[in-house]
Structure 1
Amino acid sequence: MTHAKYGGNDMKQVQQLEILKHLIAIPSVNGREAAVADYLTKLFTPYQDQIQIERVTYAPGRDNLVITAGQGAKTLGLAGHMDVVAPGDLAQWTTDPFKATVKAGRLYGRGACDMKSGLAAIVVALLEMLEHRTLPGRIRLLATVGEETGEYGAAQLTKAGYADDLAGLVIAEPSADLREVGYTAKGVIDYILTAKGQSAHASQPQLGINALDHVLEFATQAKARLAKLDQVDPVLGPLTHVISVINGGEQINSVPAQATLQGNIRTIPAHPNQQVYDILAGLVAELNQRPGYDLRLTYSFPEEPMPGVADAPLLKLIDQVHQDVFGTSVTPVGQAGASDGSEFLHAKGDFTIALIGPGGDTSHASNEFVDLAVYYQAIEFYQRLAAAFFAPDN
């Protein structure tokens, strides 16, 4: 398709579909987001007299994209990530994951659900408002890198201040085909514990230091201590802790000289990440006082829990618009997984974050798809939400 301005009435569905197809065709698996940003930049270039386009580089080939349009005293943020997970076993796919395929009203491809359909929907919604000069206020599009592996694009934009002046933020993550809206989420702590010991023949274990014993001791005590964090969030449930990987030793008749343990913790607002850090750091310090213990603890892309209230004004507005577009109320929900919202919540402003977008339950799955009727409805939903957000009585 060309990148000229869109004429006629509303952007035709064939053009809306072409944008989503083009995004699917860019294999932005933990990288190459700059190619997505390039394409989106071309789409918005015809409107550069109305907008500000900014590229924020995270690493070579990995650019966040920020587009600010319109004027006004308050700013509405619309966000989506440009990366996708790997397609996995291609034999499990019935179509090429990086060639969008439409069958029976569904579009199949990697990212169709999570979340290039959501990204495309907010992009198209903004393009149409620019084309018809119907921007109701100041809107900022935030297209991020690296959400699937740690939300570091959102973290970079937050630290640079791009979310500080927001009055509300809508992230177009899949939400049961727009039937639900996420407003709170658990935090994530991925940790790695390493232990150093001393090898010896298994027939004389007293001559060695068993590193595997030491990580197992840590595991036992960590589970017991974290279990005392027993408050239960009414929406998110309890804090959870899973020891997911243990490695150690070289052969069956030797004392292991090294071992590693990895764990995943999902935190809640009542038990924030710092509380967990303090417990684990204290445990490691105690164990390292024992003879022969040499433990080291590191973290991988921790995310704070995202607090929220179901009756926040933005959530009420989303429900109102949802009833107008779909004829039904939207269900407020909590989410066990992290999103870019976990980073944007660190912005200086005081604003509500809501997660709502097209896509069902096929995120990260083979034969991932989005219902095209929902995708088209999402475009209308975002446009009407923007209009309602800037209405005088809001």
Structure 2
Amino acid sequence: MADGASPVLDLLRQLIARRSLTPDDAGCCELIGERLKKLGFALEYIDAGGVTNLWATAGSGGPLMILAGHTDVVPTGPLEQWTSDPFQPQVRDGLLYGRGAADMKSGIAAMVCATERLMARRPLRGTLGYLITSDEEGVAQHGTRHVVEVLEARGVRPDYAIVGEASSNEKLGDRIVIGRRGSLNGILTVLGKQGHVAYPHKVENPIHRLAPALAELVGTAWDPGNAHFPPTSFQVSNIHAGTGANNVVPGECQVVFNFRYCTESTAASLRERVEATLQRHGLRYRLDWQLSGEPFLTRQGGLIAAAEAAIGAVTGLKPELFTGGGTSDARFISPWGAEVVEIGPINDSIHKINEHVRVADLEPLSAIYEKVLEQLL
């Protein structure tokens, strides 16, 4: 297919050209809204905290299907390492390069074009909603989380949701994400007493005090995992202490850590076990917790079956049902009561220099979304 003959590619290029570094939408939602408004969608902006959130609906009655995504992208990294300007999309050797090409402006473009084709043929049998935010790659406090809270307070209850994150591994459609582990972050500050290294009896070295406790935390089996998730993982991402001088015992030692946890554990249980360990070792400390999202799992149901059938029809593949990877906005949609899956392009280049998407995958991805909508709406 020639470049200009692909509606998805055309829209994707327009989206990539908008420099939407998180949490700046840079006009992406306006572009998407203009396309949806022509189809009869009612548009509402549920903005908060400098974040753009588009909620657009068409049709009436149930079921309610949501197509969800984010327009914000991560920073580019060193521009000199890109082979072309990350906000001037270019096609080379069958790949479209640009920041957001895979994560996840291609998913949004494919969703919009799928909706246009379907609604040109027949009316919706139910309600279709778009939930598009510019706050997924950042702190994710004023984006999908906020919109869900507003809509839930209104009594809105979705039945199904597709998040257009880059979910495929090696071939388009070889994986469907049906769940994610929870993410719990901790910043631990162990308190000591600063002083000269030559007088250890006059100081309290927080690094020495921390070491046995940290070894225990690292070696703890937090849970065994289950059929859908691996065991919960505790990982230290940063340790900082010291004044810069080699003859001073520091007064504090800070450790940043993360739990990626499965449905066998809860955030509350992990917090309790960590703090019990620290207290058992007699540490003086401060501990700040930040919950990024609870784990979720979409059980086999109508949406997964529809997604499997659509992928099989378009690609001939039987997708793996996957729960790995990082977090996504599906973590806010799932507790809302919807069956949620993530379907999108190959994720190999996301967040990397020279992020790209296969041009040949764009129209098939849109066809997958269209077939899912056909079955459920």
TM over 0.5: yes
Unaligned runs of 5+ in 2: none
2:259 equivalent in structure 1: 265
CA contact (8 A) 1:249 1:259 kept: yes
Is it true that 1:171 corresponds to 2:163 in the alignment?
A: yes
In structure 2, which of residues 186, 189, 193 is the aligned counterpart of residue 194 of structure 1? 189
Which aligned pairs between 1:96-135 and structure 2 lie closer than 5 A?
96-131=85-120, 134-135=123-124
Which aligned pairs between 1:123-272 and structure 2 lie closer than 5 A?
123-131=112-120, 134-152=123-141, 153-161=143-151, 164-176=156-168, 177-224=172-219, 227-250=220-243, 251-272=245-266
Which aligned pairs between 1:73-92 and structure 2 lie closer than 5 A?
73-92=62-81
In structure 1, which of residues 17, 32, 40 is the aligned counterpart of residue 32 of structure 2? 40
CA contact (8 A) 2:19 2:26 kept: no
1:53 equivalent in structure 2: 43
CA contact (8 A) 2:8 2:362 kept: no
Instruction: Determine the C-alpha separation between the residues in 2 that align with 1:157 and 1:279.
Output: 33
Instruction: Determine the C-alpha separation between the residues in 2 that align with 1:13 and 1:131.
Output: 18
What amino acid sits opposite 1:245 in the alignment?
A: N
Instruction: Determine the C-alpha separation between the residues in 2 that align with 1:56 and 1:213.
Output: 50
CA contact (8 A) 1:322 1:329 kept: yes
Instruction: Determine the C-alpha separation between the residues in 1 that align with 2:321 and 2:221.
Output: 29
Q: Report the CA distance between 1:150 and its aligned residue.
A: 4.3
Q: Report the CA distance between 1:88 and its aligned residue.
A: 1.2
Instruction: Determine the C-alpha separation between the residues in 2 that align with 1:93 and 1:383.
Output: 34
2:345 equivalent in structure 1: 358
CA contact (8 A) 1:113 1:370 kept: yes
CA contact (8 A) 2:6 2:363 kept: no
Q: Deviations over 1:221-270 (max 9, x none)?
A: 3224xx23231222321111111210001121011012210112110011
Instruction: Determine the C-alpha separation between the residues in 2 that align with 1:168 and 1:389.
Output: 9
Unaligned runs of 5+ in 1: 1-11
Instruction: Determine the C-alpha separation between the residues in 2 that align with 1:279 and 1:240.
Output: 14
In structure 1, which of residues 280, 299, 306 is the aligned counterpart of residue 296 of structure 2? 306
Q: Deviations over 1:310-353 (max 9, x none)?
A: x3221112111222222332221222311111121221x3x311
Q: Report the CA distance between 1:307 and its aligned residue.
A: 1.9
Q: Deviations over 1:30-56 (max 9, x none)?
A: 221252222222333334xx2221111
Q: Report the CA distance between 1:67 and its aligned residue.
A: 0.8
CA contact (8 A) 1:284 1:296 kept: no
CA contact (8 A) 2:42 2:56 kept: yes
Q: Secondary structure at 1:161's aligned position in 2?
A: helix
Cα distance change on mapping 1:316 and 1:44 into 2, 3 Å = closer
2:365 equivalent in structure 1: 378
Q: Secondary structure at 2:179's aligned position in 1?
A: strand
Q: TM-score, normalised by structure 1?
A: 0.87
Q: Secondary structure at 1:376's aligned position in 2?
A: helix
CA contact (8 A) 2:7 2:113 kept: no
Greater Cα shift, 239-248 or 204-213: 204-213
Instruction: Determine the C-alpha separation between the residues in 1 that align with 2:217 and 2:101.
Output: 39
Q: TM-score, normalised by structure 2?
A: 0.90
Q: Secondary structure at 2:373's aligned position in 1?
A: helix
Q: Secondary structure at 1:363's aligned position in 2?
A: coil
Cα distance change on mapping 1:301 and 1:99 into 2, 3 Å = farther
CA contact (8 A) 2:178 2:340 kept: yes
Greater Cα shift, 36-45 or 113-122: 36-45
Instruction: Determine the C-alpha separation between the residues in 2 that align with 1:91 and 1:236.
Output: 40
Q: Secondary structure at 1:149's aligned position in 2?
A: coil
Which aligned pairs between 1:282-361 and structure 2 lie closer than 5 A?
282-287=276-281, 290=282, 293-309=283-299, 311-347=300-336, 349=337, 351-361=338-348
- How many residue pairs were aligned? 367
CA contact (8 A) 2:73 2:100 kept: yes
Q: Secondary structure at 2:52's aligned position in 1?
A: strand
Q: How large is the Cα RMSD of the aligned pairs?
A: 2.1
Aligned identity (percent) is: 26
CA contact (8 A) 2:187 2:288 kept: yes
Greater Cα shift, 50-59 or 147-156: 147-156
2:58 equivalent in structure 1: 69
